[in-house]
Amino acid sequence: MTLKRSWIVILLVVIAAAVFGYQQFGTHVAPKGQPALVHLEAGSLEALRADFNAAQDSVRLIVLLSPT
């Protein structure tokens, strides 16, 4: 296989992985059976606190992700 052909194959694999990743993780729709996603804002923090405190008998986890 030539070097140019290798780069084309690698590029196609990367494009396919990107398309698959976007289809799986790039949407803003929660999977079936899971509560809808919520956009946190200053006004919605009290609702988050109430929901968190109401679920004392369940495992609770808050994960904050930052792109930086």
Q: Rounded distance, CA 19 to CA 16, Å? A: 5
Residue pair 17/26 in contact (Cβ under 8 Å)? The answer is no
Q: Where does residue 35 rank: exposed (0-12), middle (13-18), buried (19+ CB within 10 A)? A: exposed
What is the per-residue pLDDT for 1?
A: 59
pTM, two decimals, is 0.44
What is the per-residue pLDDT for 63?
A: 84
Handedness of CA 20, 23, 25, 31 (dihedral sign): negative
> pLDDT higher for 1 or 8?
8
Interval 8-64: pLDDT, tens: 999 999 999 999 988 877 777 787 898 887 778 888 889 889 989 999 999 998 888
